[in-house]
Amino acid sequence: MSPACRTAEPGPEILHEAARWFVLLSSGEASEADRRRWQAWRAENALHEAGWQRAQAACTLFSGIPAGQTRPAFDALERRPGVSRGRRRTLGGIAGLFVAAFAGWHGWRVSDRSADHVTAIGEQREIVLADGSRLQLDTDSAVDIAFSDKMRLVRLRRGRLMIATARQSRSDPPPFLVETAEGRIQALGTQFTVQQASGSSAVVVLESRVAIHVENGAGEAPILNAGQAARFNRRGLLERRPQTPADAAWHKGMLVADAMPLGEFIDELARYRRQPLHCAPAVRQLRISGTYPLADTERTLAALADTLPVRVEALRADDPSGGQIVVARK
């Protein structure tokens, strides 16, 4: 069996067992023998370990409270028990009205002729795969599809995609994998996005879980749960963090910025434009927040000058190619 096929999801019974171990180990009265039994249980089966990881992941939030802050944190949480779900982020909002319609362009790259599916700059497209799963391609992306009895493989050559796997009728469907230059991401559930950046791959899990099999990785493949994002290179994970609204907004045609450095914002916009877009170093660190439709980058650029101390200008306005646009300090 290939390493990609080893990982599966722990069922509710294993999760309950993991929860009982958690309760024992948190009690402050677990013995050395208890710990040895717990280690043995984890080592016994990859599903056990996955279940344990789930229990630990449920408590990672507490590590966000530094040691000296636990008392006021406890007091604050206890003063108002039973409050409702929902996270709010502090955001400076910038609002504007944008016309949103995606023009399908046909600027296919010559080098991508051999790829099975390619999107032009500014184009997004949804493809239904042979097993009923949905693949959404972001701007300027290329994929190959290779489905067989052994595996359902999507090779991401460039850009970004989102996969929503379809429920399969057969009880043991072949694993669903997305391959990048840095490794393979195995779907253990339904919905996730993958981006091929230069030298690394980024994954965001929207539903269920994925396993990341890095190219030169040894040992157990790390599991990423719903709501988590990670970046990895050929050797292993570089970063693991909670998902933010910005991570998956693109597949709904929006760009979400939450105090994002202007430089990153402009780089992201540039991925959706054929005309070059440049941000002057002096303003790259300015912060921008807001929700913007990706389809009309012109309007977004125009709105920048209203909210930030910047000017947006075309460098060679008479150039028939459209010229380069720069964002610079006012």
Partner 1 sequence: MSAIHPVAELYTDHHSWLHGWLRRKLGCTHRAADLAHDTFLRVLSTPKLDEIREPRAWLRTVAHGVMVNHLRRQDLERAYCEALAAQPESLAPSPEARALVLEALLQIDALLDGLPARVRSAFLLSQLEGLTYADIAGRLGVSLSMVKKYMLQAITHCMQIERP
Look at residues 120, 124, 123 and name the one whose alpha carbon lies nearest to residue 108: 120
What is the smallest separation between the CB atom of 249 and partner 1, expressed in angstroms?
Answer: 5
- The answer to whether residues 174 and 164 touch, using CB atoms and an 8 Å cutoff, is no
Look at residues 27, 22, 30 and name the one whose alpha carbon lies nearest to residue 48: 22
- The answer to whether residues 145 and 122 touch, using CB atoms and an 8 Å cutoff, is no
314 forms beta bridges with 325
Site string for partner 1, 123-152 (x = CB under 8 A): xxxx--------------------------
Q: Which of 121, 197, 254, 328 binds partner 1 (CB under 8 A)?
A: 254
Measured between alpha carbons, how far is 255 from 299 in angstroms, rounded to an integer? 13
Q: Under the criterion CB under 8 A, does residue 22 sit at the interface with partner 1?
A: yes
- Secondary structure letter of residue 149 according to DSSP: S
Residues 33-72 that bind partner 1 (CB under 8 A): 54-55, 58-59, 61-62, 64-66, 68-72
* Residue number with CB closer to partner 1 (78 or 318): 78
Backbone angles phi and psi of 109, in degrees to 5: -80, 135
* Residue number with CB closer to partner 1 (158 or 251): 251
Site string for partner 1, 102-121 (x = CB under 8 A): x-x-----------------
What is the smallest separation between the CB atom of 112 and partner 1, expressed in angstroms?
Answer: 17
- Binding residues for partner 1, rule CB under 8 A, total 73
What is the smallest separation between the CB atom of 294 and partner 1, expressed in angstroms?
Answer: 8
Q: Under the criterion CB under 8 A, does residue 32 sit at the interface with partner 1?
A: no
What is the smallest separation between the CB atom of 136 and partner 1, expressed in angstroms?
Answer: 9
Packing angle, helices 46-57 and 32-44, rounded to 10 = 120
What is the smallest separation between the CB atom of 315 and partner 1, expressed in angstroms?
Answer: 29
Q: Under the criterion CB under 8 A, does residue 219 sit at the interface with partner 1?
A: no
What is the smallest separation between the CB atom of 162 and partner 1, expressed in angstroms?
Answer: 13
What is the smallest separation between the CB atom of 81 and partner 1, expressed in angstroms?
Answer: 5
Phi-psi group of 94: left, alpha or beta (phi > 0 → left; psi -120 to 50 → alpha; rest → beta): beta
Measured between alpha carbons, how far is 211 from 195 in angstroms, rounded to an integer? 15
Q: Which of 221, 224, 248, 266 binds partner 1 (CB under 8 A)?
A: 248
Measured between alpha carbons, how far is 65 from 85 in angstroms, rounded to an integer? 19
Measured between alpha carbons, how far is 299 from 201 in angstroms, rounded to an integer? 30
Q: Which of 3, 173, 245, 263 binds partner 1 (CB under 8 A)?
A: 245
